[in-house]
C-alpha cells in the first residue's frame, strides 16, 4: 500500500515526509482493519512533521481523522460489521486502570496511545485500530465531511466545554481554521454570540458566512467583553490579548497540543478578577460520541478542501501557509 512517513522531522517546506510502499497491516485481537477512504489533515500532523512534537517512532505514518470501511476483523472483534463505515480518531488506547481513567478522565491517562503518533495513522490506504476506540459515523455526513469531525470537531468541542461559556454568552475565537469553524457552529446553535479574531481574510469571510457576530484581525480587540475564549492558533503571543479581552470571571481555553512560548502576564490586568487559563489535553471517547450526536442534530457545515494522497505534503504546506479555509482532506487511490 501507499503511505506517507515522517522520515526526518523539519520545516515542512524542506520535505520531511516521504511517500513509500508499506505492507498492508494485519488486524490483531480486538482490532479491525479499515480500508481508508479519506483522512483529514490536522495541524497536529504538521507539528509532528516539523518536530514540534517529538516522534514516538521511526517512519511513523501521520493522520488521525480517518474515515473508511471495515476490511478485516481480528480475534474478539465484534462491535462492527465487515463493510461498515467507521472513524478512527486521535485517542487510540488508554490503560483503563490509572486514577484518571477510573474517574472518567481518560484523556489524562498516564499511559495513552495516539493515532499517527504512537501508531501508524491514515496517510495510507489501510489502517488498524482497537474497535473500542473507533466511532460509528452519522450517515448524513459524507466521507469528506466526516473526517474533520474526528479531531478538529472533537477537540474544538472539548475546548468549548473547557471554556465554560455561559448560556447566551459572548465567545471569542482566535484563529478560524478546521477546528474553530466547527466549534463556532456548536456555540451559535446553543445561543452564543461568536467573535472571531484571525489573520486570514478568507477565514474572516467564512466566519461571517457562518453567522459570527463580529470578525477582526488577530489582535483586534472585540467590541464587547468576552465571557469565554478559545485560542486555536499555536501562537503564545495571542494569550495575553485573549485574556485582556475577557470579562470578569471569563475563561480562556487553549485548544492546541503545541503552543509557542507565552509572553509574561500581568496579574492585575490579565488574570485578576478571576480570569483563568485552561489547557486542553486530548479527549475522552464520551466527548467524541457527544460531539458527533450534536453535529448530526444541528446539521453542522464542514468546509473541506480535497487533495489526493500523493499530495499530502502539499496539503501540509498549504496548511502551514494558510492557503485554504476550513479543513483539508486526503482522498485515497484504489488498490
| Set of cell numbers at residue 224 | 464587547
Mean pLDDT of 8-30: 97
Q: Which residues contact 106 (CB under 8 A, 6 or more apart)?
A: 91, 94, 96, 100, 112, 284, 285
158-200 pLDDT, tens per residue?
Answer: 999 999 999 999 999 999 999 999 999 999 999 999 999 999 9
Pair 132, 58 in one domain: yes
Cα torsion at 184, 185, 186, 192 (round to 10°)? Answer: 70
Pair 45, 132 in one domain: yes
Number of domains within the chain: 2
Pair 183, 142 in one domain: no
Assess whether pLDDT exceeds 80 at residue 335.
no
Mean pLDDT of 251-256: 96
Assess whether pLDDT exceeds 90 at residue 334.
no
Q: What is the mean pLDDT of the chain?
A: 97
* Domain stop point among 257, 279, 301: 279
Mean pLDDT of 264-284: 95
The domain of 306 spans 2-150+283-331
Pair 189, 211 in one domain: yes
Pair 294, 269 in one domain: no
Considering the chain, what percentage of its residues have pLDDT values greater than 70?
Answer: 100
103-145 pLDDT, tens per residue?
Answer: 999 999 999 999 999 999 999 999 999 999 999 999 999 999 9
What pLDDT, on the 0 to 100 scale, is given for residue 256?
A: 86
Pair 77, 129 in one domain: yes
CATH code: domain of residue 126: 3.90.180.10
Pair 36, 145 in one domain: yes
Pair 7, 103 in one domain: yes
CA atoms within 13 A on the CB side of 157: 24
The Cα diameter of the chain in Å comes to 61
pLDDT band (50, 70, 90) for residue 55: confident
Pair 135, 158 in one domain: no
Instruction: Count CB neighbours of 8 within 10 A.
Output: 13
Pair 37, 88 in one domain: yes
Pair 141, 252 in one domain: no
50 sits in which H/E element: helix 43-50
| Set of cell numbers at residue 3 | 503511505
159 sits in which H/E element: helix 154-162
Assess whether pLDDT exceeds 80 at residue 85.
yes
- Rounded-to-integer distance, Cα 175 and Cα 161, Å: 17
Pair 25, 112 in one domain: yes
* Domain stop point among 279, 296, 311: 279
- Rounded-to-integer distance, Cα 97 and Cα 303, Å: 39
Which residue from 185, 184, 188 is spatially nearest to 168, judged by alpha carbons?
188
225-249 pLDDT, tens per residue?
Answer: 999 999 999 999 999 999 999 999 9
Q: According to DSSP H, which parts of 175-326 are helical?
A: 180-189, 201-210, 238-245, 285-298, 312-320
Amino acid at each position: 500500500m501507499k503511505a506517507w512517513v515522517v522520515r526526518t522531522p523539519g520545516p515542512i517546506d524542506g520535505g520531511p515526509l516521504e511517500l513509500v510502499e508499506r505492507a498492508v497491516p494485519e488486524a490483531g485481537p480486538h482490532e479491525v482493519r479499515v480500508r481508508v477512504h479519506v483522512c483529514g489533515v490536522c495541524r497536529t500532523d504538521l507539528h509532528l512533521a516539523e518536530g514540534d512534537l517529538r516522534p514516538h517512532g521511526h517512519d511513523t505514518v501521520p493522520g488521525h481523522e480517518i474515515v473508511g470501511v471495515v476490511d478485516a476483523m481480528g480475534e474478539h472483534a465484534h462491535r462492527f460489521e465487515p463493510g461498515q463505515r467507521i472513524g478512527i480518531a486521535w485517542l487510540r488506547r488508554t490503560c483503563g486502570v490509572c486514577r484518571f481513567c477510573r474517574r472518567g478522565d481518560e484523556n489524562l491517562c498516564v499511559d495513552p496511545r495516539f493515532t499517527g503518533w504512537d501508531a501508524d495513522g491514515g496517510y495510507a490506504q489501510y489502517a488498524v485500530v482497537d474497535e473500542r476506540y473507533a466511532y460509528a459515523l452519522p450517515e448524513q455526513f459524507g466521507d469528506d465531511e466526516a473526517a474533520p469531525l474526528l479531531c478538529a470537531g472533537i477537540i474544538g468541542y472539548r475546548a468549548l466545554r473547557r471554556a465554560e461559556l455561559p448560556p447566551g454568552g459572548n465567545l471569542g475565537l482566535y484563529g478560524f481554521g478546521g477546528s474553530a469553524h466547527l466549534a463556532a457552529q456548536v456555540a451559535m446553535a446553543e445561543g452564543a454570540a461568536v467573535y472571531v479574531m484571525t489573520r486570514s481574510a478568507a477565514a474572516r469571510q467564512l466566519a461571517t458566512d457562518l453567522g459570527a457576530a463580529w470578525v477582526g484581525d488577530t489582535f483586534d480587540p472585540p467590541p464587547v467583553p468576552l465571557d469565554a475564549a478559545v485560542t486555536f492558533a499555536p501562537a503564545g503571543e495571542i494569550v495575553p490579548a485573549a485574556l485582556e479581552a475577557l470579562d470578569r470571571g471569563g475563561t480562556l481555553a487553549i485548544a492546541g497540543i503545541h503552543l509557542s512560548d507565552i509572553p509574561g502576564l500581568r496579574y492585575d490586568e490579565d488574570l485578576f478578577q478571576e480570569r483563568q487559563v485552561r489547557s486542553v489535553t486530548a479527549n475522552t471517547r464520551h466527548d467524541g460520541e457527544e460531539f458527533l450526536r450534536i453535529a448530526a442534530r444541528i446539521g453542522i457545515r464542514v468546509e473541506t478542501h480535497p487533495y489526493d494522497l500523493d499530495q499530502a505534503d502539499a496539503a501540509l504546506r498549504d496548511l502551514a501557509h494558510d492557503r485554504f479555509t476550513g479543513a483539508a482532506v486526503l482522498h485515497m487511490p484504489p488498490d
